[in-house]
Structure 1
Amino acid sequence: MITAQEIRNKTDKKYISFLQSLVEQKPFEKLVIRGDKSYTKSSLPEFEKEIQQIVSQSKERKGSGYTLEFQLVKTKFLASQNLPISIYFDTEKDFLKFLGKEKEVELFKSDVEKITNAFPELKDWIIKNALRVITNQMEWDNILKVCQYFKQNPKPNLYIRELPIKIHTKFIERNKSVIRELLDILLPEHVNSEYKEFEKRFHLKFSEPLIRFKILDKQISQEYFLGIDDLAIPISQFETLNLPIKRVLVVENKTTLYTTLTLPKMDRTIAIFGSGYSVYNLKNANWFFNVKLFYWGDIDAQGFEILSQFRSYFPHTKSMLMDKITFEEFFENDKGTPTGVSTKLNLTDEEQLLYDILKTNNWRLEQEKIPLYWVKENIL
């Protein structure tokens, strides 16, 4: 036999489909809660307690809620007893009062009307995301203001906080997820769908990550940057950099970036701070295809995984100081970070062999621990 808690749980599960029926303007239909008509327990007091709990929450006792219909059923241990054979909600009011959702649904109806009046094309989204309408219950006026602005100005080319919308300056940033879903529907011809980032997707200005690099050729430093050899510029500017460079070193750690400045003069060469997996930021620097490209990372599993990632953008990349001889010379039994990567990497046979050893033993040699004399003797 169904318990009072099971009735509650099953009723909760009906809520989303009820909200969807409201959006579709379907009239409320008798809502049945399916229960088990059998009863196998042998204790009469326990039986009476369970029946009492079910009845105490019913419409008969509380004036609203579910209706019970009983039938005399012959049980295995308790002879013939009246068991609930039908549990149902007659009206929308009974259903909502039982769930305690009257006020929430009142606001939901108001929000649905507000949204569909402004943008009828969002009706299907509401049906699929009824609970998200409720989650954002206090925000819909401002969300719709944002949508209306973008509808009229699909390519603003402004920073988010510059947008001339009468909302809190941080509102869009706090509500990007739901606004993005709506704009994808409302602006199908203007969405820059190749990007996931909100700003790029909807033609907004944004604060770009900076690419930090050092110029290792003093002549280039003097001629192009008044002697400045340590720079950080936005990605978009770095991607269009036009310098007489023939060689690029990408290094994983910031300390090692400083080390590169102590190297012997390196003609037409720059060193870039890759910052681990942030090498992703370099993937559109197409001028890399016209230079010799080297990657120098930690000798650990992650170092080779980052090398593999970088090589997927630029297949001609060569590793630097990430070899077995260097590892065996300076390894100090340091432990690395376990990796769960199981896919095949873009590594040479020698790199793959060392990677497997490092991964199996969870070993690490950080590039900072390689002495400068060794770097100078073996670099490039």
Structure 2
Amino acid sequence: MITPQEIKKKAERKYVSFLQQLVDNKPFEKLVIRGDKSYTKTSFPEFEKEIQLIISQSKEKIGFGYSLEFQNVKTKSLGFQTLPTSIFFETENDFLKFLGRKNEVELFCKSTKFTLETFPDLKVWLIKNPKKVIANQADWESILKVCQYFKQNPKPNLYIRELPIKVHTKFLERNQAVIRELLDILISEHIKTEEKLFEKRFNLKFAEPQIRFKVLDKKISHKFFSGLDDIAIPVSQFEIMDLPIRKVLVVENKTTLYTILTLPKMSDTIAIFGSGYSIINLKNVEWFNVIDLHYWGDIDVQGFEILSQFRGYFPHSKSVLMDKQTFDKHFEYDNGTPTNISAKLNLTSDEQELYNILKENNWRLEQEKIPFEYVNNNLDLD
């Protein structure tokens, strides 16, 4: 026979649909709980104990909660007995007091009512996500303040913490997930749907990644940077940089970037710290399409995979010092990091052959282990 605890569990499962009906303004209907219709007790005292337990927590005894309807039913072992054949909540008050959710629902109704008055477009979202409203109940008023601001200013072009919204400075950062869902609906025509980062998606300023580069031409460093040759600027500024550059060398590791400074100076050339897979930050540099691009990475599977990624952005890119001759001459039998990538890479036949050897044996030659003299004699950017 079903117990009061089991009735509560089943009632809890109906809570979300109840909340959804509230948002949809549907009246409460008698809510039936399906009970266990098999009665297997062979001892009358045990049977009587179960019956009394379920009655003790019913509306008849405590003034709210589930109601019971009884019928005289023939049991297998105890003959005819008066048993509860229907368990139901007759009113909304009975249901909520039984679950201990009355105050929670009052706040939920207040929040959803104000939300629908302010943003009718959110009705479908509210119906689908009542538990998110409950989970964010304490902050719901502030969440709507943020939504109201963006509705009126869909392209703020400000940093998150300088938005003129009367909420805590870190509030939006802490509540980005639910705010994002709401703004996707409310200002859908203004968002950048392809962007995942909140700031980019909703037209905000943000702390951009920095592109660090070395100017290898003294004339350029003196004319444009007061003699400075080790520079870092935001991606957006790097994308529009206008310098008389003909060649770019992208290196994978920071140590190698330092080494570049000791190389003979190269005219019209800069070297960029690619920082491994962060090379994605360079993908929108359109002026790369009209200059010579060279990539120098570790001779391991990741180095060639990053080269392939870079060449996916700029097909004319060439690799330097990532050949079998360099590998055979300087390899010290270091282990690499295994890869799970199986897709076809943007590599030349020679690069692919070396990549296969590295992958099969899990080998690695880090670029900083190549002696400077060898680099100086073999780094060819022509």
Instruction: Tell me the TM-score normalized by structure 1.
Output: 0.88
The residue type equivalent to 1:15 in the other structure is: Y
Are 1:116 and 2:91 counterparts? no
Are 1:230 and 2:224 counterparts? no
The residue type equivalent to 1:308 in the other structure is: S
Q: Which residue of 2 aligns with 1:278?
A: 278
Are 1:207 and 2:207 counterparts? yes
Equivalent residues of 2:295, 2:318 under 8 A apart: yes
Structural mapping, 1:168-179, within 5 Å: 168-179=168-179
- In structure 2, relative to structure 1, the CA distance for the partners of 1:366 and 1:40 (3 Å cut) is farther
- What secondary structure does 1:311 align onto? helix
Equivalent residues of 2:151, 2:186 under 8 A apart: yes
Q: How much does 1:239 deviate?
A: 0.5
Equivalent residues of 2:39, 2:75 under 8 A apart: no
Measured in 2, the distance between the counterparts of 1:341 and 1:79 equals 70
Measured in 2, the distance between the counterparts of 1:44 and 1:350 equals 86
Are 1:317 and 2:317 counterparts? yes
- What secondary structure does 2:109 align onto? helix
Q: How much does 1:82 deviate?
A: 6.3
Q: Which residue of 2 aligns with 1:365?
A: 365
Equivalent residues of 1:159, 1:205 under 8 A apart: yes
Q: Which residue of 1 aligns with 2:261?
A: 261
Measured in 1, the distance between the counterparts of 2:335 and 2:63 equals 68
Q: Which residue of 1 aligns with 2:11?
A: 11
Render the CA deviation track for 1:129-175: whole Å, top value 9, x for unaligned: 21111121111222222222222222222222222222222222222
Q: How much does 1:39 deviate?
A: 5.5
Equivalent residues of 1:245, 1:268 under 8 A apart: yes
Equivalent residues of 2:221, 2:228 under 8 A apart: yes
Q: Which residue of 2 aligns with 1:67?
A: 67
Q: Which residue of 2 aligns with 1:332?
A: 332
The residue type equivalent to 1:215 in the other structure is: V
Render the CA deviation track for 1:175-214: whole Å, top value 9, x for unaligned: 2222222222222332233333222232222222211000
Equivalent residues of 1:337, 1:362 under 8 A apart: yes
Q: How much does 1:123 deviate?
A: 1.5
Measured in 2, the distance between the counterparts of 1:184 and 1:113 equals 20
Q: Which residue of 2 aligns with 1:217?
A: 217
Equivalent residues of 1:147, 1:179 under 8 A apart: yes
Farther-moved stretch of structure 1 (202-211 vs 347-356): 347-356
- What secondary structure does 2:138 align onto? coil
The residue type equivalent to 1:273 in the other structure is: F
- What secondary structure does 2:137 align onto? coil
- In structure 2, relative to structure 1, the CA distance for the partners of 1:24 and 1:214 (3 Å cut) is same
Q: Which residue of 2 aligns with 1:162?
A: 162
Measured in 2, the distance between the counterparts of 1:74 and 1:343 equals 67
- What secondary structure does 1:139 align onto? helix
- What secondary structure does 1:161 align onto? helix
- In structure 2, relative to structure 1, the CA distance for the partners of 1:353 and 1:80 (3 Å cut) is farther
Measured in 2, the distance between the counterparts of 1:208 and 1:312 equals 23
Q: How much does 1:4 deviate?
A: 5.2
- In structure 2, relative to structure 1, the CA distance for the partners of 1:300 and 1:69 (3 Å cut) is farther
Are 1:37 and 2:37 counterparts? yes
Equivalent residues of 2:244, 2:268 under 8 A apart: yes
Equivalent residues of 2:246, 2:291 under 8 A apart: yes
Render the CA deviation track for 1:194-239: whole Å, top value 9, x for unaligned: 3332222322222222110001122221222121111011111110
The residue type equivalent to 1:241 in the other structure is: M
The residue type equivalent to 1:137 in the other structure is: Q
Farther-moved stretch of structure 1 (310-319 vs 107-116): 310-319
Q: How much does 1:109 deviate?
A: 0.7
Q: How much does 1:23 deviate?
A: 0.4
Q: How much does 1:292 deviate?
A: 1.4
Point out where structure 1 has 5 or more consecutive residues left out of the alignment.
none
Are 1:128 and 2:128 counterparts? yes
Q: How much does 1:282 deviate?
A: 0.7
Q: How much does 1:45 deviate?
A: 8.2
The aligned length equals 379
Measured in 2, the distance between the counterparts of 1:362 and 1:292 equals 31
Instruction: Tell me the TM-score normalized by structure 2.
Output: 0.88
The residue type equivalent to 1:28 in the other structure is: F
Q: How much does 1:351 deviate?
A: 2.9
Q: Which residue of 2 aligns with 1:92?
A: 92
Measured in 2, the distance between the counterparts of 1:247 and 1:199 equals 33
- Percentage of pairs with the same residue: 69
Measured in 2, the distance between the counterparts of 1:57 and 1:243 equals 81
Q: How much does 1:35 deviate?
A: 4.0
Measured in 2, the distance between the counterparts of 1:345 and 1:3 equals 62
Equivalent residues of 1:37, 1:83 under 8 A apart: no
- What secondary structure does 2:263 align onto? coil
The residue type equivalent to 1:296 in the other structure is: W
- What secondary structure does 1:126 align onto? helix
Q: Which residue of 1 aligns with 2:247?
A: 247
Q: Which residue of 2 aligns with 1:198?
A: 198
Measured in 2, the distance between the counterparts of 1:20 and 1:240 equals 51
